[in-house]
Structure formats: C-alpha cells, structure tokens
Structure 1
C-alpha cells in the first residue's frame, strides 16, 4: 500500500542576502531594493571603477537611515553612505549596502541669518540649498557639479570648486556634524574645548573612547604631521589628523572632530546632519582671461596674480578648447577667447563696482610685462558664457571628438604649492610624453590653489595598458611628493589614490590613518577598501582587460559612435547633470520621481550593464531585460539629454533602439499604446473622412472602453480630428504668395494635417506675407515619428524612406522644408541621418528648417504686424531645444516689438504618446506642474501663450483654463483675414 507524505513541502532556506533584505524591508521606513536593476544602477560612480552593491536603501527620514545601518550591523554587512554619486576616485561604489540619501533626506532643518549658519540633511543638492537660502546667503564651496552634488557627498569628499579660492574647502565651512558610527554611536561633533573634552571623558563610554583614542593618535604623530602634511590649501588626501591636535589658544579648540571627519569618504562615519557656515558673495564682477604659450607659462604667472585677491583663478589648456571648438559648443565664447595655448580665467569680485574696475586695471597692468594676451569682460552674461568653457571641461574632455579616444580620470587631482606648480607641470608633461599620453590629455583646474585636473587617454582595455596605467600613477605620485604636493586636491583618494598614500605620507602616517579607521570602524564595515586598506588601483576596473561587451547589430547607425550602439551607451561618464532639479530640459522623469534609474545616467548604466556581458552583471537577459524596459518606460523621449548632457547621451534614440529589439519577433507583447498611438498617422487617415462621427464616439460613454483598449489613460481627453484636413484646405484655396523670396515646402506633419490644421493655414499666410510661395507635398507622406518613439523602427524606416524619396526632387532644387511640429522637424534633422544614413537623409536634414529660422535668415527685413508691446510667453518644445533652440523665433518676435519670455520650464510632460499612456499620467502632470502650468495659469489674460509642439498645446489646453497657440498663429494674428479659413482662431 502506497504511503502519502503529509509533511509540509520543503522550502529553500533563505540566503543571507534575502534575510538582510527582509529585515530592512520590515524595519526601515524607506525603499529597500535588492533587485537586479537597482544593483546595476548603483554599481559605478563617475570613476574608473565598478563594484555591484549588495542592495540599495533609500530612507525617507534620517531616523530610517539610522535604522538601516542598525540592521546592517546586526547582519555584519558593509555600508556605503552615498550622495550624488559623482565621485571620481571610486569611493561611491562598493560591494556593500548603499544608503542613498539624495531622494528624501533633502531638508533644510534650520537657518540662522544673523549667525550665517544652517543645518541640513545630507541629501540636499548644493544648488537647491543655495536657491532656498534667504537673502544673499550661500554655502561657499562650489564644485563644477553644483547642480547635482549633495552636501553629504561634498562633506565626504571635502569638495572645493573654483570658489574655494575665496571661501575655502568644505572642511573650512563646516561648523558641526551629526554622525553615526557603524557600531551605533550617534553624536554631534565639532570644535572641542579642553573643558568639553574633560566632560566627555567624565561621561565615559564609547564616545569618550573615540575622543581619547583620536587625541592619542594625533599626539603620537604630531611631529610627523607637521613634517609631512603639505602646507597647501588643497591637501585633501588622507585623514585630517591635523584637526585632531590641541590648538594653541587657551581653550584648546584645535581638536575639531567635524573638520577631521570631512573628507573621510564614508569610511569612518555616516553623516546625518551638518551645520554649515554661510557666506555672502560680493555682487560685482569682472573676468580677465589671459592667454599664454603653454600650460607651464600660465602656471608661472599664478603667484603674480594671487596678491590681487582673485575670487577664482582657473586654468584650461589647448585640448579643452580644441575639443569644444570641434564640437561647436560655446561658439560666441570661443570666438572671444584671446590668443594662446593655455588660459587663466581670473575673476575679480567686490561689492563696489568702482573697486572692481580699479582692481582689474591693477591686475592687467601687473601682467602686461609677462606677455599674455588679455581679454577683460564685465558683462555678467558674457562672463558666464566664457566660464562655461571651464565648467564643462571635465565632461568635454571625456572623449576626444576628433579621434573617439576615451580619456580617463585616475591622476586627475594633484595639488601643488603654487610656487612649484610650473616646475612640477614641466616635468609631468614630459612624463605624459614618455608614456604616449600627451596628445589627448586635457589639463585644467584651480591653479590659484595649485590644483590640477586632467583626463588622460589611458588604455585600460589590455593587460599592457593597465600595467602602464599603474606605472604612470606611481611615478606621478612620486613626482607630486617631490614638489611638496598632495595626491588629491579635491576629489579624494578612494580607490584611485588610496594605494599611493604611503608614497606621500610614509608608512608611519598611513599606520596612523589605519588606527583612526580601527578606532571608529573596528570591523572595517564602512566603505571598506577605500582610503585605508585600499583595493589596488588597477582592480575592479569598469573597463579592464576582461571587458568584452556585446556588440549587437543596431537599427540606428550611430555615426558619432563608430557605428556601434555599445559605443554610444559608453558615452555616459556619470557626471550627473541629469540629476539637476530645475533649469534646462533633462531629465523630466527624474525631476518628477527623484529616482536614480529614471535619470539619464541611471538608464545609461543599465544599458551598459545589459551589454557588458560578464557573468557578474546583474542584467543577464540582454534585449529582453525587464529591468532596462522598466527604467526606460518613464523616459519621455524628450531628447533633452542630447543637448543638456555634457557628453550628449541621446536616451530617446537608445530607448527606441531598445524597444525595437525588446519586442522584436513578439509584437503581440507590445503595450497597446504602441499600436494605438504608434500607428496614429495611419489611424488618422482612416478617421479623417468620418471625423465628426469619430469625435462624437470619443466624447461619448464608449470613450472609456476605447481608451482602455488602446492603452490610453482614462483621464486624458482624446484630441478631436479636424475638418477639413490641412492639405485639403490648401489645395482648395491654392497658393498665393508673390514668390519674391522663393519657394518653400511646408511639411504637413500628422498633427498639423489632422488635428490642428489652423496652425498650418496660419503658417501659409505668414510665409506668403513674407514673400514666399508655399508648396506642400503631392503625396500623403509621414516622417515616421510615432513609429520611432515607440521603437517600431522597421516600419519607421519604410515610412521615412518613402518620404525621403518623395522629397528628393524638392530638396535637389534647393527648396527649404519648413517644419511646424518640432518633433517631426527633429526626425528630419536628427533621426533620419541616424536611421537611414546616406545622401538622401543628409540632404533633407540640411534643407529642413523651422518657420522662425526661415524668417530670421531669409526674410530679415519682414516683421509681422500688430505685435508691438504684446507680451508673449513661450513654452519651447524639447526637441527644438535639443536640436537648434528657439533663438531665431525669439528674434523674429522681438523684431516685431513683442516682449518675449522663453520659459525655463523643461518638458511639458505630455511628450507625444507618453502622457497619454496608462501608467504615465501622474509623472506627466508632475512634469507640467513643475513650472509650465503654474506660469500659464498665472499669466495675464492678454499674454499670448505660445507652444509650437502639439503635445505642449494639448497639455496646456487639458490642464489649465488657457489655450496655447502655435507661433504661426501669433505671427498671423495681425494679417488681413482670409476667407478660406474654416477653423476658429
């Protein structure tokens, strides 16, 4: 007789990581993420290194972060406290539990205007803090990553930036810190008098042990500290033992544990709160740009400039300028640069404009005998544009645009005494030449503090190349020490330079650093392997000898990336500009969610992990990856990153490429919205003959069912189809222009043709009034936009190919193609040469222009009537921002006398199909509510609201009481009436 096993089924025992994840989820008020996508997203920072974390915790409160660390302590796992993740020395990636403070712990706890102090949480971004402070108060140090770096990260790195010339490092501006040790001691630390020290010792316990031990370590090594710590303002390497020594004053306040912990890179404590000193920046400025024959000559002039008390004193070399000129960025600033091969940028700042002028003249007079070419600029906008050359140096130098060679950090942060800076550089440049690195190496930095930043064309993809990298780093370190410098002057040691600290400090002081680590973190669980007991500088490399990524065939051609999708994805260097919270366009979904994997950087990292192909990668299923799909789902394909990202990551294109492959061979798995809105041009042609019926249905009770069937959010109203279509109206009316300025082909995009033909008709009237004859295509054509954005690239290529063929005769005759819908115009100028490379696409890209640009360039003496004194508010379409900007349109309006404001509002949030799709409504509305919609609601009734994108107008129409108009309609508003206009204005 058979027996029946009634015992409960055996279950697989949970792993240690699963137990940890469950404990964190049960006890921590926050987001606990051990999924493959999150681990991949946080595996790298902005350095050469990569380590996949155990998991990620995003605490909602400071106390939740404290609890997360308690759980990690109980499970004996390492912890990395992380800010903006822009570190260049590898200190922000580790095989640990990453605590990311930057999403929720971003509060200003208090501000004391009189004392000029504030208390903040560690996740607040520097620009956000400074924007929120009252009056003219700011936090002084300002790294180039100020839009994205967090105060916690700045404290971890002891950040500086250009303004440290005046305000000092972060350590010089931190008053107190609330910190947490791995073993659970939570305390406020700062300057400690002898009386306070005695009180701490009397209380006993762990705090007393730490203070007593640190004081003893510092006292035992005081002579070595005095001998071997470089006496320069930018000594950032190692731990700040000098801040643990008793002070010379009566109360002995030299022991300052807050200052001592700044720059410890999450290896000693977790920072919970910071009390910061604030400053007021003088109002008036002048910028003096000095051109020299070479980098050594510019360095020799530094000590002549310093007595003039510059607010900052920065350097860029010829490679930075050559790269930017080749890429065509900052053209006006480039044209203004004085002659030279190396440049110093000196800002004089004062509250008295007369003193600025006097000090500037004294500076330039003092420098003339040194022979530099000199440019003095007093206009603030021109100064900002010139200084943007310097601020973008890190990202611009990441890849040589002429050769495609990648440049890397590593030896990018040495700081020298200014008196010895030139001699060091002369010898170090010779070292570059010896190793074959000189041609592509970019040199820049904070020369007023002797700090040199570089990016170097190391060859990290081979064993020999990595060996050369190690050798070069070691010899550079020895050279830096020879001239009395610090291995790091701002970016910290991390993994890049931790191994080299003994060359700078000697074994005794390195042992002292290890003693500090053992005292504060005896189990070595705080960001292990960085600064002390470091990993080797040539292990855990992102790109190393074993790097062998997949090289899949792609639909797009990626002409700027060697024709390789992999190479395109490698563009991202993690600088984090996509994590800014206001200004420009990039990245709207990150601004709405605060999620790292919704930033351009996070998505690029996931794609990189997908292609990496190593067995240790969390992303293992290639194009079928659900983690990558989900991260890309909230990408609005706004193309903002194409222009706003300093390395021109084009996530809209990468998303289309991914969707093309992800759903390749399984179209039935696509979201329903890809069929309803991806095929909008075809559906519009079917609906147009029966437009009144379709419109009635879409406004009836049946609309909800149809929306659900089409993957459309029920809260969205479906735009009505217009009657008649634009081209039908045009052919019935006929062309009327004089043609004195020639013929133009007006492109009837799907949105103008079927949904808003009045914009097309108004464009015809404007063009004719300006002296053009208007033509439209004889055939029914489409640019393929909706198929591109939904990743249906085979269909897009066929549709676009037919259009290129049909337009070839007009293009060949030199006829401009005028686009009204910016996203469709961008298909011609940007997507077409990428999807269908060749002469046809290149020709149509060159021929395509916008209405405003055509009028500005080909009819500069024509001005639309009736706009004098009219206030105009403009929502610039993201694709136009990315592929050409709105400058010409603004010029046309101002020439007509209008008062124009182009909103710095980012993406409207609708973004074609995105805002209509189920699951996107909240993010879509949040994007619009950030700036655009409140500004539209608050505008005067007489202010014209201009939005050339159909999506932008729809978002405004559906979420405000106002209506958005196309530029063409505003320009036509003062023209005589046209009896052939069947649609209301």
Structure 2
C-alpha cells in the first residue's frame, strides 16, 4: 500500500474517487508526470489528478479528498510562472469539461461561467453581442477563467479594464471543509442575512469583518496604491470603502483558500474602432518615462519592448516581418486607442503624439491601420516569454523575477536601477518588456539553477530585487502571482505584521492547511522544489540518432526545452497541437509530452514517476497520439520538435524488440508499393475483398474502417520513362523527386508538374534508379534504416544533380526530410548538405522563374497546407502563385488529421477524424458540395477523399495538387487539351457511421 509523506492512503483514495466522482480519476504515473510542473522553475509530483465532468463532480471530488485528508489544488491552463500550479496533492483539472457559459445577460453585461472555460472561447461567445471580458493575458488562447481568477491575471488590456478582480462580480466557492456559498460585495443587509442563516459561513464573515476592522489601518498603510499590486492576499478588498467584497478578496489567492465553482463576471463593450500606434525611443528607459504621458489620453494598452527582445526574435527568426515594421529606436511602446468611431480613436492617438512632441525625448511614431500588421506587432510583444528563452549561443534564461510592478510614473527610474542591479550580479542580455502603462516589467534572467553557488547567487539577487521594488513602493508581482517564487519575500514588501494577517486570513478559510499548502502562507523557500536544482544532470544512456543542433547535441536539453507557456493547448490558429485539440488532454499536448520525456530522464538519477527510461509505456502511450505533424517545430515559441523526439524515442523503445505491426506495414510502405507495382490492379482488387481486406488490416495494424488507397495502374516513373527524350530547355534542367506517394498513388501530379515546368522553360529529369528519402521509416522510429537509406539516396542525388540543378519536391513531407530531418540525422554528410541546399518546392521554383507567370485559374478554393509545409518549407510561395493565378483562397489553419501513417494506424480514427473536424471539414462545408480543394500533401488529399462525404463533398470533387490546378489551365492558355486528370474514381470513403462512432468516443470531446 502506497502512503504519501502526509499519511494519505493513496490506493484507497484513488478507489474512492473512482467510485464516487463522475470524471476521470488518474493516479497513473504518466498523468502524475504530466502535471508535475507548470511554467515555473518548480517541480512537485502530485498524488493524482481528477478531471471532473461537471462542477458537481468536482464538489464530490473535494468531499472525498476531505475524508482522506488529502491536500488539493485547482488547475486551469497550467501556465503559472511562480510554482502555484504544482504541489504534492490531488490536482483538479477543470479545463477539459467544466467550460460552459452558464448564463449571459447582455443588457446587464454579466455572464456566469464555469472555471474551466478558456478566455478566447468565452470572448467568442460574447463577440456577437459586442461584449468581451476585459483582462487579456498573452495566454488568452488557452488560459482559463479559473486560472485567471486564481492568479488575478491582467494582460495588456488591463490598462483600460483593470485586473481580473476588477471584473469579477461574484464567486461561488467551496471551502475544504465543505462550506459552499456565493461571495461578493457585502452590504449591511447582506451581512445581516448571512448572520441570520447562521452556520460556518456566518462565523467566517464575522471573522473577516473583525480582521478588516481591527487591522484596516495597517492594510491601508502597507498596501501599495498602484495599478498592478498582485502580490499577497487582497485584504484591502475587505475594507469598508471597498464594499467588504469577499469575492475580490479571494481573487488571486492561488487555490490556497477555496475552490472556485462558478464566477459571475462583469463584461465590457468591444471598442467599435481602434487606432494602433507604435513609438520608437532611444532606450527602453526613455520609453518608460513617456508612458504616464500616454496614459493621460485613455489608451487601451501601453506595452513596452526593448531592443534585447527584438534582437532575440531576430536571432530565432520569429515574427521577422513584424520586426521590420517597428520605427527606429532602442525601446518601443505599442499603444492602442479605442473609440466609437475611427475618428475618435485617431484623435486620441494624435493628441498623444502631440503631447509626446513637447517632451525632451521625442519618439519616432508610426500608426498602423492594417489589421494584419497590428496582429503581427502584438505577436512580437506576446511572444516575449518564449522569445527570450533558449537563445542560441547564450546562457539559459528562467523565471524567478519576471513581473515586478512599480508606480508607472517611477518606472523609468526603476528600470535604470534594475539594470544596474542586473549588471552588479553579472546577468547579461536580459530583456525588459511588459505592461509599461501600469509599471509592470517582464523578463527572463540567466540564473544558474544547477549549482549550489548559482542558486545562492539567484537567492541573493531576488532578495535585493525585492528591496529595490519595496523602495519604489511597488509589488513583487504585477501579474503572474507569488506562488513559491516570491511568497517568502513578503516580509520585505508588506512587513511581518501583514504576513501574520495573511496567516490569519488563510486559517479562516483553510484551518487544516490542505489547500495548495506551502504556497503564499508558510511558503516553501524560493530555492526548494527546484525543477533542476544542484546536482541536476540527467544522462542519456543511448547513442542518439538525431544531432539536435539547437540543443548542443543533447536530448536532455531538448526534453527541457518546453517552458510551459502552453500555446500547444490552444484551439485556434496555426497547426499545433492537433491531438490536444481533439482530446483536450494535457498528456496529449506538446507540453505534456515534453514533461513526460523530462521525467523519463529524471528517473535515471532521482525519484520520478517514470522509472523505466526508454522502455517507458507511459511515454510511449503519450507519444502514440502525436501525429508527427511538426506543427510545434514552428508554432511552439521555443520550437519544441515533438515529431523528432517521438522518432528518437521509438527507435530506442523498440530496440531489439518486436515492433507494432503498423511499423512493418506502413513503415515499409515504399517497399510494398514497389512490389505492388508489378500487378497494381490485382492488389487493388484483393484489398477490397471484404473478408480478406479486414483480416489483412488487422494483421497489419491498420484501422479496419480506413480504406486502403488504390495503387495507380501506371506509376509516374514508368510514364516518364516511356516518354520521348526531351530536348534541352532555355532554363536548363530540373529534377523532380518521384516520392512514393506521387509515384504509386497519384501519378497525375507528377505528369502535371512536368507539364507546368516544361511550360516554364525547364527540361525535367528524374533521379537514377530506385531511391527513397526514408520518411516512413523516420516517422515510425526506424532510424538506423532511415539513415542508411538517406546516405545512399543523398550520394546518388548529389552526383546526379551536378551543378545548379534544383531538386523539386512535390510531396511536402518528403521535401521536409531533405531540408530538416536528413541534415539532423546525418549532419556530417556532405551529400546530405548538398541535397538540402538544392531541395525546393514546386511553388518556390516557379515563383523565382524569370518571365513566367501562372495561367489564370480563377474561382475559389479551400486550401489545406501540409503540416510539414507549414513547419519546414513555408506556404508563402504557394499562396503567391495562387494569388497570381486569380484563385480566391480559404486557407485552413490546422492539421488534416491523417498525418502520414498516423490516421491509418488502428485505434487512431477517433483523433484523426476529430482533427479533421477542427478546421478542414468545416471549411469544406462552408465552401459547398462542389468546392475546389487544393492540398499538396498526400495525407491531406486522402483525408479529404475519405472523410469529405461527412462535409457534403460530392463524389466528383477530388482534392488537387497545386501542379494539377495550374496544369489543367495550361491547355486553355495554349489552346490544346490538357491530359493531367487523375485516373480512376475518387477514393473510397470511411463509412459515415464509423466517423460518427469515432467522434463520439470517450477519448474525443468536441468543443462547442
């Protein structure tokens, strides 16, 4: 029987929770590992995790924990930077199911929500009514309202709308001891009503009133009057002049007092018009000095960013286009002004510029009306946390002193003193950015958190930093909360008497200290529970296949790369992370998988839930639903490349062991396709004999409801070999890479590419012999085989390409191998480097072809970029060609869900279909039954063909490659018919009933 250090009978607790709670009760090692840390420097492995399906189920979970005396904490998006979302207790994750808008009163501008609702999802519900929830942290796409309430979150828009506590009207809360009530402003009449009702709540309110009356003067004296005082409990909300507001007093308590069950929120109108202004100053200190002048003109936001942040993004090639939009300077303020009309918002901006021109330091100002440019510049600021982490050639940076706030009018002076303090401690290249209108500064600092000396240096620095903030009348935290990073420093800011008030306040709500113990009150020291800590040093005990050039060749650094910002938990924009969007599961997010890989390496040298290293079934199961889409390689702010990590893990996990059947069927697809080319018609017929087909699929690890793609009657390479030799062309030779998918399944794409390239003035050639890029071996983790194959292929291609011949990839995933995977697998192979340099996409080559323009195609199309195209090659050239061809495009953001072998593997249909339902299939439905669909990727086209029926796509509407779209119009331009149509009928479709069954599975939960 397992017993925690607190004496809790874990096995019996888990059983009771499973019996009594309507939800998912997870005490398995994989779940505990995934929730062992947040976005902070701290790590505490939880007892277990409960994911309630309803608020009432969460109430029951707390009742069970109370009976066992188990500590607990509530968790939202898990992006906390101070350690408040990690503890040795039962974690209640509200974000998967408890995310409803319970009620909405548009006229009163009030909404009641459950704690797990994501801010962007709430605002999407409010948008048709012209309303929004005011505070908007940078994590708005994935932070939950419960988490915002726990941390008293702010964001850039707090300049106009205040912190979360300024926008919370009432809270329904539950104490650990079982008292459930609605809290809010407490009038004399309300207080008397509570007293008449009697019981524990009446006693609590009496004690709270006594605290405010007895120590009100101390609270008034010691609490700084600044816009961003987030540190400490909100005892000032209990003062009579604040309306004795118990709800506001509980906001920002970081799950140490109560559990929030529902929140009644005040809403604000969305401005009808906005004006966007960027100001460039000589330095970030000069920018800070100007912020109070701007604040006088009622802006929505005043965001500061310095040259270090800009340089970091240049180094990492993030937001490159947006950086060119910034005016001259070494520090910038990004300001938004709102109004009922554009004239009103413009006038505010113009008055601001005029006022700034009266100052000694006059900024370079630039206004932006293009919403795309505005979005790009905001992303420069919102990318701060990720952009300042893992800078090539620099020491690693960490949180720990990243969000102090001072009076805005003193911010410039504070930044000068803070810069001097950084210099004194030898911390260089520290970016300082943040919410300058409210005096709040963000930064990541290169603390040494792996040696005794470095940790002592860190502790001394934050002590001095606290003294500096206190001298300026500021707050240790201006947004991210205190957690473990700052709570031990409370005496410096508040004094010992107020700290004792915090202890008294905590005891009123949680006398047994079971709510997130060790955080805020009687806190752990900032140097305890460090995720790294002195002696950190995991050893990778296998010979790696990939070179990990951005991580100094070390897999442990790759596993540590995730900073926990949680962009992979978003449900909108970009590609990352399709499996999280399908399941809403932490373990199936890029962040969750990173946590498990970290714990896998931890288990080699200290206690961890993951003890069996590369043989771990928990890590294998978490990676099983990774689609290897590579979306995270681009979309993750620190460029986690989970597809590569998955391939590396699988190679060692199955070393010397029998692999899953799918690894031998789909992993070796190029071999089977070559054999099938001997008699493709016979193979196609056998694959469609009902009994034979299902038996073969089960034996091969293939999803029974997935039709097997048909082999073409004639391969592209055979067609090309039968052509008469082409004469030399004006622009010379180009070599088309005849990938397995184009060659064997969709040869019409190859024929179309030949037609277009010849029209552009090239002579097309093919590589010699039978070569393969090894993609399917890479995706299934058969890396030794893939490396041998790539070395052979690269040698043959390098010789055949000669001087200056481009290698044109038609299949984005194969092109990504040449450009990314191959150089990382074989970094010292000169042939691989040469091929990578020559590899180009069809669109990229055409776009740089002189004196050629695409034929006019016209019409509209739904375009599904391949995920590897998004992550490695980019889609810009394709979009430019489509624009030049006159095609009006709706470009899908998100993965198609098939993702190579993933969607064909048994047990993956539910996640595959749910990923398609995220963006692809809805876009097709909106376009109509006869929509033109363009997709360069074989997986994307196959997914559309097989699931398109559920989107109403007709049998005749086949998805086309860009080459086919252009080639079909070449005939019209030349006045001759074009013969590039794909042979045979459209692929078979997954039965609609199978899709419905998959989408209704327990693992998949479609968000409304």
TM-score interval, smaller chain: over 0.9
Rate the CA distance shift 1:104–1:519 in 2: closer, same or farther, 3 A: same
Correspondence 1:125-204 to 2 at 5 A = 125-133=118-126, 134-204=128-198
Instruction: Name the structure 2 match of 1:275.
Output: 264
Larger mean Cα displacement after TM superposition, 749-758 or 552-561: 552-561
Are residue 24 (structure 1) and residue 17 (structure 2) matched?
A: yes
Rate the CA distance shift 1:372–1:938 in 2: closer, same or farther, 3 A: closer
Contact 1:738-1:768 at 8 Å conserved across structures: no
CA displacement 1:474-495 (0-9 Å, x = unmatched): 1100110001001111111110
Instruction: Please point out which of 910, 919, 943 is paired with 1:922.
Output: 910
Query: Aligned partners of 1:909 and 1:710: how far apart in 2?
Result: 20
Query: Aligned partners of 2:181 and 2:573: how far apart in 1?
Result: 37
Larger mean Cα displacement after TM superposition, 304-313 or 969-978: 969-978
Query: Aligned partners of 1:925 and 1:618: how far apart in 2?
Result: 32
CA displacement 1:421-440 (0-9 Å, x = unmatched): 12211111111001000x23
Query: Aligned partners of 1:532 and 1:258: how far apart in 2?
Result: 19
Contact 2:159-2:300 at 8 Å conserved across structures: yes
Are residue 462 (structure 1) and residue 456 (structure 2) matched?
A: no
Instruction: Name the structure 1 match of 2:403.
Output: 413
Are residue 721 (structure 1) and residue 711 (structure 2) matched?
A: yes
Rate the CA distance shift 1:893–1:255 in 2: closer, same or farther, 3 A: same
Query: Aligned partners of 2:758 and 2:873: how far apart in 1?
Result: 24
Tell me how far 1:167 sits from its aligned partner: 0.6
Contact 2:843-2:881 at 8 Å conserved across structures: yes
Correspondence 1:202-281 to 2 at 5 A = 202-247=196-241, 254-281=243-270
Instruction: Please point out which of 668, 685, 693 is paired with 1:696.
Output: 685
Query: Aligned partners of 2:146 and 2:611: how far apart in 1?
Result: 33
Tell me how far 1:375 sits from its aligned partner: 2.0
CA displacement 1:18-68 (0-9 Å, x = unmatched): 011111111111111111111110000000100000110111110110011
SS in 1 for 2:50: strand
Larger mean Cα displacement after TM superposition, 731-740 or 184-193: 731-740
Give the root-mean-square deviation of aligned CA atoms. 1.6
Instruction: Name the structure 1 match of 2:900.
Output: 912
Instruction: Please point out which of 938, 955, 959 is paired with 1:964.
Output: 959
Contact 1:735-1:773 at 8 Å conserved across structures: no
SS in 2 for 1:301: helix
**Structure 1 residue ranges, 4+ long, deviating more than 6 angstroms after superposition:** 11-15, 979-982
Correspondence 1:115-130 to 2 at 5 A = 115-130=108-123
Instruction: Name the structure 1 match of 2:631.
Output: 640
Instruction: Name the structure 1 match of 2:419.
Output: 429
Tell me how far 1:980 sits from its aligned partner: 9.0
Query: Aligned partners of 2:391 and 2:409: how far apart in 1?
Result: 32
Query: Aligned partners of 1:461 and 1:557: how far apart in 2?
Result: 24
Rate the CA distance shift 1:523–1:819 in 2: closer, same or farther, 3 A: same
Tell me how far 1:914 sits from its aligned partner: 0.6
Instruction: Name the structure 2 match of 1:50.
Output: 43
Are residue 949 (structure 1) and residue 937 (structure 2) matched?
A: yes
Query: Aligned partners of 1:952 and 1:271: how far apart in 2?
Result: 42
CA displacement 1:485-539 (0-9 Å, x = unmatched): 0111111111000000111111111100100100100000000000111000110
Are residue 299 (structure 1) and residue 293 (structure 2) matched?
A: no
Contact 2:433-2:441 at 8 Å conserved across structures: yes
Instruction: Name the structure 1 match of 2:970.
Output: 975
Instruction: Name the structure 1 match of 2:776.
Output: 786
| Structure 2 segments unaligned to the other structure (5+ residues) | 972-976, 986-1008
Instruction: Please point out which of 477, 480, 484 is paired with 2:473.
Output: 484
Larger mean Cα displacement after TM superposition, 601-610 or 318-327: 318-327
Tell me how far 1:848 sits from its aligned partner: 1.1
Tell me how far 1:354 sits from its aligned partner: 1.3
Rate the CA distance shift 1:283–1:735 in 2: closer, same or farther, 3 A: farther
Tell me how far 1:687 sits from its aligned partner: 1.1
SS in 1 for 2:677: helix
Contact 1:811-1:843 at 8 Å conserved across structures: no
Instruction: Name the structure 1 match of 2:1000.
Output: none
Contact 1:48-1:543 at 8 Å conserved across structures: yes
Larger mean Cα displacement after TM superposition, 765-774 or 80-89: 765-774
Instruction: Name the structure 1 match of 2:994.
Output: none
CA displacement 1:771-825 (0-9 Å, x = unmatched): 1111111211000000000000001001111110011024441111111111111
Larger mean Cα displacement after TM superposition, 306-315 or 807-816: 807-816
Contact 1:737-1:768 at 8 Å conserved across structures: no
Larger mean Cα displacement after TM superposition, 427-436 or 371-380: 371-380
CA displacement 1:730-772 (0-9 Å, x = unmatched): 1111454762222211000000011111111111111111111
CA displacement 1:641-695 (0-9 Å, x = unmatched): 01111110000000000000000111x1x11000000000011111111111111
Contact 1:871-1:942 at 8 Å conserved across structures: no
Instruction: Name the structure 1 match of 2:76.
Output: 83
Are residue 373 (structure 1) and residue 361 (structure 2) matched?
A: no
Query: Aligned partners of 2:899 and 2:53: how far apart in 1?
Result: 30
Contact 2:312-2:391 at 8 Å conserved across structures: yes
SS in 1 for 2:550: helix
Instruction: Name the structure 2 match of 1:342.
Output: 331
Tell me how far 1:443 sits from its aligned partner: 0.9
SS in 2 for 1:957: helix
Rate the CA distance shift 1:315–1:941 in 2: closer, same or farther, 3 A: same
Instruction: Name the structure 2 match of 1:34.
Output: 27
Contact 1:637-1:655 at 8 Å conserved across structures: yes
Instruction: Name the structure 1 match of 2:431.
Output: 442
| Structure 1 segments unaligned to the other structure (5+ residues) | 1-10, 248-252
Are residue 360 (structure 1) and residue 349 (structure 2) matched?
A: yes
SS in 2 for 1:960: helix
SS in 2 for 1:431: helix
Query: Aligned partners of 1:281 and 1:137: how far apart in 2?
Result: 5
Tell me how far 1:958 sits from its aligned partner: 1.1
SS in 1 for 2:103: strand
Tell me how far 1:984 sits from its aligned partner: 5.6
Contact 2:968-2:980 at 8 Å conserved across structures: no
Query: Aligned partners of 1:440 and 1:759: how far apart in 2?
Result: 50
Are residue 331 (structure 1) and residue 326 (structure 2) matched?
A: no
Contact 1:735-1:774 at 8 Å conserved across structures: no
SS in 2 for 1:799: helix
Query: Aligned partners of 2:93 and 2:53: how far apart in 1?
Result: 10
CA displacement 1:246-302 (0-9 Å, x = unmatched): 23xxxxx71111111000000000000001111112132222222222222221111
Tell me how far 1:402 sits from its aligned partner: 3.4
Are residue 93 (structure 1) and residue 99 (structure 2) matched?
A: no
Query: Aligned partners of 1:81 and 1:305: how far apart in 2?
Result: 38
Tell me how far 1:546 sits from its aligned partner: 2.4
SS in 2 for 1:90: coil
Rate the CA distance shift 1:362–1:291 in 2: closer, same or farther, 3 A: same
Instruction: Name the structure 1 match of 2:549.
Output: 559
TM-score (normalizing by structure 1): 0.96
Instruction: Please point out which of 634, 640, 643 is paired with 1:649.
Output: 640
Are residue 663 (structure 1) and residue 657 (structure 2) matched?
A: no
Tell me how far 1:864 sits from its aligned partner: 1.9
SS in 1 for 2:129: coil
Tell me how far 1:143 sits from its aligned partner: 0.2
Contact 1:108-1:120 at 8 Å conserved across structures: yes
Instruction: Name the structure 2 match of 1:3.
Output: none
Rate the CA distance shift 1:812–1:837 in 2: closer, same or farther, 3 A: farther
Tell me how far 1:358 sits from its aligned partner: 2.2
Tell me how far 1:144 sits from its aligned partner: 0.3
Instruction: Name the structure 2 match of 1:853.
Output: 844
Tell me how far 1:885 sits from its aligned partner: 2.3
